[in-house]
Structure 1
Amino acid sequence: MQFHRKQKTDSELLSIYKHLLFPRLIEEKMLILLRQGRIGKWFSGIGQEAIAVGSTLAMQNDEYILPMHRNLGVFTTRGIPLKRLMAQWQGKLSGFTKGRDRSFHFGTQEYKIVGMISHLGPQMALADGIALADLIAEQPKATLVFTGEGATSEGDFHEAINVAAVWNLPVIFLIENNGYGLSTPINEQYRCKDLVDRALGYGIEGVQLDGNNILEVYDKLTELADDIRKNPRTVLVECLTFRMRGHEEASGTKYVPQELFDEWSKKDPLRNFEEYLLEQNILTENSITDIRSAFKKQIDGEVEAAFNEQEPEANAQHELSDMYYPYEAASYPPSSSSSEKRYLDAISDGLREGMQRHSNLVLMGQDIAEYGGAFKITDGFVAEFGKARVRNTPICESAIVGAGLGLSINGYKAVVEMQFADFVSVGFNQIVNNLAKTHYRWAEKADVVIRMPTGAGTGAGPFHSQSNEAWFTKTPGLKIVYPAFPYDAKGVLLAAIEDPNPIIYFEHKYLYRSLIGPVPEGFYTIEIGKANVLKEGQQLAIITYGLGVHWALDYLSANPQIAATVVDLVSLQPWDKAAVAAAVKATGRVLILHEDTLTGGFGAEISAWVSEHCFEYLDAPVMRCASLDTAIPMNKILEEDFLAKARLAEMIEKLLSY
C-alpha cells in the first residue's frame, strides 16, 4: 500500500491516524462487550474505517453526511461523544432516539448526520433533497451519502443517482464495496466488473479508490468535494474494501473463503498507515502505546458511564405525542371576497398562495413544470416561480418522496405530486418508513405534502382509479386529508403546507372540473382534524368523505322525506371523533359511506370506534356502504356497479327499517 503525504504536516498526519485508530478501538471494545453478554448485537466495520474517516475529514463540518451501519468513523470523526453513542446503542434515554431505534438508525442536526433505515437504499434520495436545497439557496456545499454494494441492486440506488445526475446535484454517492451482502458474494449481486462503471450510464463521473488507503480516500474526496462546491455535479465513488467480520457478529464468517481473509488482512488500513507513520518517524512504538492507552481509558470510562445511565420510562402519552412534530396551527380565516371556482382551480389557488407565502417551498412531480401537470393544476407556475422551485421529475416516485424529506431536513418545504394516487405504491416505503417515522425516531420534522389525485368515476380502470387512503390511515406519523368541496380543497391544502408534519392530501379527480363552488380570495386555512356537518336530521347520520359526500347529498336531495345528518370528515387522520359522536347521539343510526372497498376500508375504523364509544346511543347496528371488494373495472357499467353509490339507497332503507 503506497501512501503519498503531499503537503500534509506531521501533525496533520498524526491527527488522521488518531481519527482512524479511535473507531477501531471502540469496535474492539464492542466485541469484548458482546462476548461478555453486555450488548446483544454489533455490526462491525473493522477493516473499513479508512473510508468513513477519510471521507468525513474531507467534508466541511456543516455539510451533511448520510452513513450506513458500518460507518462508526463518520460519527467519531464528527466529534459525537462516545458516551452518547453508547447510550444510543443501549437504548438509553440520552441516546439520539430515546431508545426507539437501534445502532446508527438516527440523525442529528447538531452534527449534520442523517442515518439510514434498515431498507438500505432510501437515504440516497434524502441526499438529493438536501443537495437540492443547497443548490436553490446557492450555498456552495456538497453532500456525501454512503451505500453498500448490496444496496446498489435496489431501485432506490438507481432512482437517486438518476435524479441527482439529471438535476446536477452536488452529491457524492459513495459505494463501500466490501465483497459481501450478508453472505451473498458480489458475483451473485451484479454482473458488471466494477460498480463504478455504472456512472457511465448516468452520464456522471466515476472514481474507484482503494478504500483501505486513508490518504487516497481523504485526498480524492477532498478534491471532489472542493470542486463540487464550485461546479455542482454528481459523482459516483466506489471504495474497494473487505468486511473482516460477519454481517453482524451472530452471522459468523464461515461462508467466506480463508484465502480472502489472508489477502485482505495484509491490507488492514490501520496497521498499514501505522507502519507508514513509523517509517516517517511521526510515530514511535512508545507513542503508539501512549495513544492507545489514553483512548482505551477514555473508551472504558464513557462506555461505563453510558451503561449507568437511566433507562427510558414507558409513557404512552409521550410516545403518542412524539409521532408528530410539535405544531400549534394558527388560525387564518377566509376573506369576505370570494368567487365561484372549480375544485381543480381551488387546488391551484392553494398551491400558488403557498408558493407566494413560502419562498422555500418546492413543488416536484412528473410533467408539472411547463406542461402544467397531467391535470393542468400547475399550469403557469414555471413562469411565476421558476424551474428551480417547480420541478419536473423523472418517473421515480420513491426518489422524489425521499428528496422531499431531504429538502425538509435542510430547511425547505416540499409538495410532491403523484400523477395518480395509484402510483404512490412505488414510493410507499419512503412514506410509511421514512416520512412517517422520522420525528418519532430522531425528533426531526418531515415538512412534506403529497398530493394524491384519487378515485373512480372516469372509467380509468384498476391502476388510475383506486381509493387507497386506508393504506395510510393506519400509519402513525402521517396526517391524511380528503376535501370534498373547492372551499375546503384550498383551505386544507394551505393548512397542510403550513404544517411541518408529513401530510397525504387526497383530491378527487372526478371533482376537478365537475364541481364548482365559492372560494375565498387570498390566504386562509381550514383546521386539520375538523369535520363539517353539512345537514342535520334525526333519522340517521351519514358519515362520509370525498366523493361519498356528494353521493349522500344527491340522494337526500332526491329523497326529501328522509331527515339525515351528513358529516363530511374532511380529515381522516386525525379525524373528528366529537362530530361523529354528536351525530350518533342525535340520530341513533349510523351509515358510514366511502368509495374505498369495504374490507379494511377506513369506515371499519369509524365503525369500531362508534361501537366501542357510542354503543348506548345506537338504535341499530352501525352499517357501512362501500365499494365492492374487487379491483376497479374500466368498463363504465362495471365501474358503476363496483362503486358504493350503487348500494347507497339499499343500505339507507335497510338501516331505517331496522
Structure 2
Amino acid sequence: MHFDRKNYSDKILIDLYEALLRPRMIEEKMLILLRQGKISKWFSGIGQEAISIGCTYPLQDDEYILPMHRNLGVFTTRKIPYSRLFAQFQGKLSGFSNGRDRSFHFGTNDYHIVGMISHLGPQLAVADGIALANMLKKEKKATLVFTGDGGASEGDFHEALNVAAVWDLPVIFVVENNGYGLSTPSNEQFKFKSFVDKGPGYGIDAVKIDGNNVLEVYDTIRQLAENVRKNPRPVLVEAMTFRMRGHEEASGTKYVPTELMEKWAKKDPLQNYEAYLLKEKVLDEATIKKIRKAIQNDIERGLEKAYAEEMPKASTATEIADMYAPFEQKVVQPQSEGKNKKRYVDAISDGLKQSLEKYPELVIMGQDIAEYGGVFKITEGFVETFGKERIRNTPLCESAIIGIGLGMSIKKQKSVVEMQFADFVTCGFNQIVNNLAKSHYRWGQNADVVVRMPTGAGVAAGPFHSQSNEAWFFHTPGLKIVYPSNPADAKGLLCAAIEDPNPVIYFEHKFLYRSLTDDIHDDYYTTEIGKAKLVAAGENLSIITYGMGVHWAREVMESMPELSADILDLRSLLPWDKEAVAETVKKTSRVLVLHEDCMTGGIGGEISAWISEHCFEHLDAPVMREASLDTAVPFSPPLEQNFLPKGRLQQKIKDLVEF
C-alpha cells in the first residue's frame, strides 16, 4: 500500500491515525461484550475504518454525513461522547433513540449525522434533501452519504443519483465496495466491473479510490468537498475495501474463500498506516502506547457511565406521544367575511398558494407541477409567482422525492409532495411508512412533509388510477391522514396539514375536483385536524363516512324521505374523532360505516370494532358496513358503478333500520 502524505502536516497524519484507532479499539471491546451477552448485535467495520475516517475528517462540522452499519468512525470522529454511544448500543435512554432503535439507526442534529434504516437505500434521497435545502438557503455545503455495493442494487440508489444529477445537488455518494452483500458476492449483485462506470450514465463525475488507504480517502474527499461547495453537483466515489468479519457477527464468514481473507488481511488499513508512520518517524512506539492508553481510558469511562444507567422504564403514554412531534394546532380563522364560489380543485390551489406565501421555507415537488401546472392544473401559474426553486418538477421517482422531503425537514424546511395519482404512492411507500412515520419516534426528528394523494374512482380511470388506499397508511403510527369531502375543508385541511410539523397524507378525490362548488373564504384559514363534522342530523340511524361517501349518503337519504340520518363526515382519518362517533351512536343506536375503499381491511372495520367495544350498550342493531367490492377497480363505467358501494347503500340502510 502506497501512502502519499503530500503537504499534510505531522499533526494531520497523527490525528488520522488516532481517528483510525478509536473505532478499531471500540469494536474489539464490543465483540467481547457481544460474546458476554452485554450487547445484542454488532455489525463490524473492522477493515473498513479508513473510509469512515477519511470521509469525515475533511468535512466541516456542520456538514451532514449519512452513515451505514460499518461507519463507527463517523461517530467517533464527530466526537460523540462514548457514554452516549455505548448507551445507544445497550438500548438506554441517554443514547440517541431512547432505547427504540439499535446500533447506528439514529440521527443527531447536534453532530450533523443522520443514521440509516434497515432498508439501506432510502437515506440516499434524504441526503439529496439536505443538499437541496443547503442550496435553497445559499449555504455552500457538501453532504456525504454512504451506501454499500449490495445496497446500491436498490432502486433508491438510481433515483437519488438521478435527481442529484438533474438538480446539481452537492452530494458526495460513497459506495463502500467490500465485495459482498451479506453472503452474495459482487458477481451475483451486478454485471458491471466498477461503480465508476455508472457515473457517466448519470452525467456525474465518478472516482475510484483505495478505501483502505486513509490518506488517499482523506485527500480525495477533501478535494471533492471543496469543489462541490464552490460548484454544486453530485460526485460518485467508489471506495474499494473488504469486510473482515461477517455481515453481522452471527453470519460468520465461511462463504468467503480463505485466500481472499488472507489477501485483504495484508491490506489492513490500521496496520499498514501505523507501519508507514513508524517508518517515516511521524510516530514511535511510545507515542502509540500513549495514544492507545488514552483511548482505552475513554472507552472504559464511557462503558462505566453507560453501565451505571438503568434500563428504560416503559411509559405507554410517552411511547404513544413520541410518535409525533409536539404540536398543538391553533385553528386559524379567516380575517374577513369575504367569500367566493370555488370548486374543490380551486380550493386546493388556494390552500397551496396561500401556504407558499405564509411559509417562505415551503417547497412543492411533483411530476409536471411547474410550467404544466400538474395533470389536474392545481399548480398552474405557480412558477410565475414563486419560481422554479420552490415549484419543482421532479423526475419519475416517488421514493426519492418523499425522501428528499425528509432531508429538507432536517434543515427545517417544509415540503408538499404531489403523487400524480394516489396509486403511484406504492413506489414511495417505504419512505412514508418507515422513514417519515418513524423518524420522530426513533430520534426526535420530525418529518414536515405533506403528501398529496389524488384518489378515488368514478371517472373510468381503471385499476391503476382509481384506488382508495387510505387504509394502507391508517395502520401506520406516526402519520396523520386527512380526507376532505368539500371545498371549504379541502382548503382548511390542506393549510392545517402544511402547518403541522408532522407527516400528513392528504387525500383529495378526483371526481370532486370540478363537480363540486362551494362558498369558501378568500382568506387563509385552517380546519382542525382530528375533528369530524355532522353534515346532516336525523333520528333513525347514523352514517359515519368521509370523502365521496358523504355525498352518496346525502343523495340516498334524500331518496328515502321516510327516514332521517345523522351523517358524520370524519374529515380526518388519523386521528379520527372518537368523541363525535360515540355521540352519534348514542343518539341513533343504529350505525352504518360507509367508505369507497374495499370492504376487507378498510377503515370501516376498525371504526366498527371500536363502536362495538366502547358503545355496545347504546346499540339496537349490529354495526353494519358498506364499501366497494373486494376487487380491483374496473375500467368500464357499468363495472365501475357495480364496484362502488353507492348502488347497494339504500338496501343496506333498510336492512339496518329494519333489524
Name the TM tier (shorter chain). Answer: over 0.9
What's the secondary structure of 2:57's corresponding residue? helix
Residue-by-residue CA offset, 1:564-621 (whole Å, 9 max, x unaligned): 1010000000011111111001100001110000011000011000000000010111
Mapped to 1, the partners of 2:397 and 2:411 lie a distance apart of: 21
**Paired residue for 1:278?**
278
Mapped to 2, the partners of 1:203 and 1:619 lie a distance apart of: 68
**Paired residue for 1:258?**
258
**Paired residue for 2:451?**
450
What's the secondary structure of 2:330's corresponding residue? coil
Q: Which amino acid aligns with 1:376?
A: K
After superposition, where does 1:91-490 map in structure 2 within 5 Å?
Answer: 91-334=91-334, 335-490=336-491
Residue-by-residue CA offset, 1:536-587 (whole Å, 9 max, x unaligned): 1110000000000000111122222211101000000001111111100110
Structure 1: segments with no counterpart, 5+ residues? none
Mapped to 1, the partners of 2:129 and 2:239 lie a distance apart of: 24
After superposition, where does 1:532-551 map in structure 2 within 5 Å?
Answer: 532-551=533-552
**Conserved? CA contact 2:541–2:592, under 8 Å:** yes
Mapped to 2, the partners of 1:47 and 1:300 lie a distance apart of: 23
Report the Cα offset of residue 177 of structure 1.
0.3
What's the secondary structure of 2:37's corresponding residue? coil
Report the Cα offset of residue 317 of structure 1.
0.3
**Paired residue for 1:644?**
645
Report the Cα offset of residue 331 of structure 1.
2.0
What's the secondary structure of 2:634's corresponding residue? coil
Mapped to 1, the partners of 2:36 and 2:141 lie a distance apart of: 44
Mapped to 2, the partners of 1:484 and 1:28 lie a distance apart of: 60
What's the secondary structure of 1:637's corresponding residue? helix
Q: Which amino acid aligns with 1:192?
A: F
- The question of 1:46 aligning with 2:46 is answered yes
Q: TM-score, normalised by structure 2?
A: 0.99
Mapped to 1, the partners of 2:12 and 2:298 lie a distance apart of: 22
Q: Which amino acid aligns with 1:430?
A: Q
Residue-by-residue CA offset, 1:393-416 (whole Å, 9 max, x unaligned): 000100010001111111100100
What's the secondary structure of 2:592's corresponding residue? strand
What's the secondary structure of 1:405's corresponding residue? helix
Report the Cα offset of residue 40 of structure 1.
2.3
- The question of 1:82 aligning with 2:88 is answered no
Report the Cα offset of residue 39 of structure 1.
2.0
Mapped to 2, the partners of 1:43 and 1:269 lie a distance apart of: 18
**Paired residue for 2:32?**
32
Q: Which amino acid aligns with 2:395?
A: P
Q: Which amino acid aligns with 1:537?
A: G
Q: Which amino acid aligns with 1:630?
A: T
Mapped to 2, the partners of 1:293 and 1:447 lie a distance apart of: 45
**Paired residue for 1:590?**
591
Q: Which amino acid aligns with 1:169?
A: L
Mapped to 1, the partners of 2:296 and 2:461 lie a distance apart of: 66
**Conserved? CA contact 2:641–2:647, under 8 Å:** yes
Range with greater deviation from structure 2 (164-173 or 279-288) = 279-288
**Conserved? CA contact 2:130–2:411, under 8 Å:** yes
Residue-by-residue CA offset, 1:458-492 (whole Å, 9 max, x unaligned): 00010000000000001000000000000000000
- The question of 1:510 aligning with 2:514 is answered no
Q: Which amino acid aligns with 2:585?
A: V
Q: TM-score, normalised by structure 1?
A: 0.99
Mapped to 2, the partners of 1:100 and 1:577 lie a distance apart of: 29
Mapped to 2, the partners of 1:68 and 1:41 lie a distance apart of: 15
**Paired residue for 1:622?**
623
Q: Which amino acid aligns with 1:262?
A: E
Structure 2: segments with no counterpart, 5+ residues? none
What's the secondary structure of 2:433's corresponding residue? helix
Report the Cα offset of residue 59 of structure 1.
0.9
Mapped to 2, the partners of 1:557 and 1:519 lie a distance apart of: 25
Report the Cα offset of residue 137 of structure 1.
1.1
Range with greater deviation from structure 2 (69-78 or 286-295) = 286-295
Q: Which amino acid aligns with 1:4?
A: D
Report the Cα offset of residue 306 of structure 1.
0.8
**Paired residue for 1:494?**
495
Mapped to 1, the partners of 2:263 and 2:546 lie a distance apart of: 65
Q: Which amino acid aligns with 2:117?
A: I
Mapped to 2, the partners of 1:590 and 1:496 lie a distance apart of: 29
Q: Which amino acid aligns with 1:493?
A: L
Q: Which amino acid aligns with 2:584?
A: A
Mapped to 1, the partners of 2:217 and 2:526 lie a distance apart of: 51
Report the Cα offset of residue 298 of structure 1.
1.7
Mapped to 2, the partners of 1:40 and 1:445 lie a distance apart of: 28
**Conserved? CA contact 2:38–2:90, under 8 Å:** no
**Paired residue for 2:66?**
66
Report the Cα offset of residue 210 of structure 1.
0.3
Q: Which amino acid aligns with 1:22?
A: R
Mapped to 1, the partners of 2:523 and 2:165 lie a distance apart of: 38
Mapped to 1, the partners of 2:606 and 2:595 lie a distance apart of: 12
Residue-by-residue CA offset, 1:58-101 (whole Å, 9 max, x unaligned): 21100110000100000000010111000001000111011100
**Paired residue for 2:613?**
612
Report the Cα offset of residue 452 of structure 1.
0.2
Residue-by-residue CA offset, 1:352-381 (whole Å, 9 max, x unaligned): 001000111000000000000010000000
Q: Which amino acid aligns with 1:153?
A: S
Mapped to 2, the partners of 1:560 and 1:403 lie a distance apart of: 52
Mapped to 2, the partners of 1:41 and 1:399 lie a distance apart of: 30
Report the Cα offset of residue 303 of structure 1.
1.4
Mapped to 2, the partners of 1:433 and 1:641 lie a distance apart of: 35
Mapped to 1, the partners of 2:37 and 2:474 lie a distance apart of: 40
Q: What value does the CA root-mean-square deviation take over the aligned residues? A: 0.7
Q: Which amino acid aligns with 1:520?
A: H
Report the Cα offset of residue 12 of structure 1.
1.7
